[in-house]
Structure 1
Amino acid sequence: MTAPAGARPLRAVRQAEPGKRPEGRRRQWAVVWLLSPAGLVMAAFSVAPVLFLVFTSFTDYNQRTLFTGEFSMVGTKQYADMFDDPEFWKSLVRSMLFTVTMVAGSITMGVGVAQLLTRLRTAMRMTVTVVLIFAWAMPNVASSLVWKWLFQPGYGVVNWLLTQMHVFGDMTNTDWGQSASLAYLSIWSLVVWQAVPFIALTLYAALTQLPLELPEAARLDGAGEWRVWWSVTLPFLRPTLLLVTIMSVIWDFNVFNQIWLVSAGGPDNATSTLGIFAYKTAFVSFRIGQGAALSVITTAILLGITAVYIRNLLRSGEDL
């Protein structure tokens, strides 16, 4: 088969331009060079510590190791000892139940605040938005300390307000940290208060993208406001709700500062979640190897939750 008149053979074209690289390969190398600084930072501060954590979980790292550097490989002994410890299972159950209640509370209140923002006038909406941003931007260590002062017996503002309401009796000297239920309630309210701003603003941003003709058409068909929200607004918010729910699960499952600063896991380990248990194991009892094993198990649980989210995200993309 002869080439068309005036056409140059492919070999001739390649010989005529020997130094020219294909455009696709050039773009690939550009992407690699642009991402390499971020990749090096992630490898140094994320991948390497995780690998060292996994390695440590198979050793007998302890207080002696910190001074002498000596340790021995013990295989899966740390994991076996951890699974035989009843306190591990109690901490795991506490973490799961506490995470469920915190995520449910923060998502419910976040949805309510987001809906409220859609009904406020511009000036009031901007005021509420600024207040939410300030609440969200406050460091959790500072907010936890302030929260603990609010619930202090004797001079705590919350105790004073509850006493003035004359509903629960005299609560002036009530120590919230010495009661398991009150300690959980205090920590729960603190975590939810910190989580609501992000959830509310994220959902409000999604609500602003809802086409106005959809709820209007539902109202013309005779649907009430609750039916419009359930059948139109909620399906539109489902991808964003899934995102903030998974992120809330990851954040709340890892809550440490708020619990440690408010109750230190007490009373009698009643608020000791996996994070508190791992910290006490590694840095109070100096069983660093077993603390590392606890952290590996926690990371595996969170990776499983993240995998579920990614799977659902890919499925939703295939359905579009």
Structure 2
Amino acid sequence: MADPVVREEHAAAVGDSPRRRPPRRGRRQWAPLWLLTPAGLVMGVVTVVPIVLLVLISVTDYDQRSLFTGAFAFVGFEQYAAIFTDSDFWWSLVRTIVFTVAMVVGSVAVGMGVAQLMTRLGTVMRYVVTVVLICAWAMPNVASSLVWNWLFQPGYGVVNWLLTQLRVFGDMTDVAWSQHPLLSATSIWALIVWQAVPFIALTLYAAQVQVPQEYYEAARLDGASEWTVYRSITLVFLRPTLLLITILSIIWDYNVFNQIWLISQGGPDATTTTLGIFTYKTAFVGFDLGGGAAISVVTTLILLVLTAVYIRNLVRSGEDL
């Protein structure tokens, strides 16, 4: 029978000492919470608190008078009943949906084309295109919106001059794009697509270069055309990335405000008034802060549904990988 001292020394040598204290699980369980506390406090201050205040204001008659006197009254769901019976709200919602669909389809389609183009370029040109895309993506949307507005200005706008030189649409020199319903919507659409393409193109390119080349070689050996190869192989591998990019684009484009306001301010004749513009005009132009808050709550609920869809698909795509 081995000596107890010898057994203890042997256990200590192999790292299995019977006297070793078990780890303190309580401290380990609390450590992640302590590390997340600063970020949680910031998120609570900048996200949760404003949403709570927004909901509270939406059930009051808070207006311009309340800003100076602080007097207001709780009206319950009267603000929500008012906006749901307001035809301008529903038209703004319809315009928002149409704008969102058009911008998402345009940005994703152009982004897919640019990503496919980058796979065919040489090393030098690919780096040049990447730098150009990053520069366009890094430009603040306020600055780019102002520059974009100058490009389409009547009299000295570069775009108007170029279209006039093409002699296809006639003399476009004095055309005010922001004063024409279709032209203002087209200008805003082109601006948002231009801003969204860099992120989509670079993300899809990064995903596309991960596709195994053996699949392409086998398909081409079987005589498949380039369109068949792209549809049967590339799109299949890009499906999770495309789905997530599309959902993100829907959320972002649904919230577009700066570009529309800086170019057309929702005009002419409210043809470019989306929910964001309608909320701003209701709350800060008409000083119906309660009504504007109610519209914002409804918009937030719609975005929460979109975000839930995004997270659900994100989890699913992670499980499929």
- TM-score, normalising length from structure 2? 0.91
Name the residue aligned to 2:12. none
- Cα deviation per residue 1:217-259 (whole Å; 9 max; x = unaligned)? 2222322111111111101111111111111111111100000
C-alpha distance in structure 2 between counterparts of 1:40 and 1:216, whole Å: 53
C-alpha distance in structure 1 between counterparts of 2:105 and 2:49, whole Å: 34
C-alpha distance in structure 1 between counterparts of 2:320 and 2:170, whole Å: 56
- Counterpart contact for 2:59–2:77, Cα < 8 Å: yes
What runs of 5+ residues in structure 1 fail to find an aligned partner? 1-5, 7-15
Name the residue aligned to 1:136. 137
C-alpha distance in structure 2 between counterparts of 1:319 and 1:133, whole Å: 30
How far apart are 1:319 and its partner, in Å? 5.1
C-alpha distance in structure 1 between counterparts of 2:128 and 2:317, whole Å: 35
2:201 corresponds to 1:196: no
Name the residue aligned to 1:305. 306
C-alpha distance in structure 2 between counterparts of 1:250 and 1:103, whole Å: 10
- Cα deviation per residue 1:125-147 (whole Å; 9 max; x = unaligned)? 11111111110110110110111
Name the residue aligned to 2:3. none
5 Å matches for 1:85-104?
A: 85-104=86-105
Name the residue aligned to 2:236. 235
Name the residue aligned to 1:147. 148
C-alpha distance in structure 2 between counterparts of 1:240 and 1:316, whole Å: 8
- Counterpart contact for 2:244–2:313, Cα < 8 Å: no
Name the residue aligned to 1:3. none
Name the residue aligned to 2:55. 54
- The amino acid that maps onto 1:50 is I
- The amino acid that maps onto 2:105 is A
C-alpha distance in structure 1 between counterparts of 2:124 and 2:320, whole Å: 40
CA change 1:99–1:121 in 2 (3 A) is same
How far apart are 1:311 and its partner, in Å? 2.6
Which portions of structure 1, spanning 4 or more consecutive aligned residues, are displaced by more than 4 angstroms? 316-320
- TM-score, normalising length from structure 1? 0.92
Tell which deviates more after alignment, 291-300 or 209-218.
Answer: 209-218
Name the residue aligned to 2:16. none
5 Å matches for 1:160-309?
A: 160-309=161-310
- The amino acid that maps onto 2:97 is M
Name the residue aligned to 1:79. 80
- Cα deviation per residue 1:46-85 (whole Å; 9 max; x = unaligned)? 1111111111111111001111111111111000000111
- Counterpart contact for 2:248–2:310, Cα < 8 Å: no
CA change 1:96–1:170 in 2 (3 A) is same
5 Å matches for 1:1-20?
A: none
What runs of 5+ residues in structure 2 fail to find an aligned partner? 1-6, 8-18
* Percent of aligned pairs with the same amino acid: 68
How far apart are 1:17 and its partner, in Å? 7.5
How far apart are 1:315 and its partner, in Å? 3.8
Name the residue aligned to 2:158. 157
RMSD: 1.8
How far apart are 1:318 and its partner, in Å? 4.8
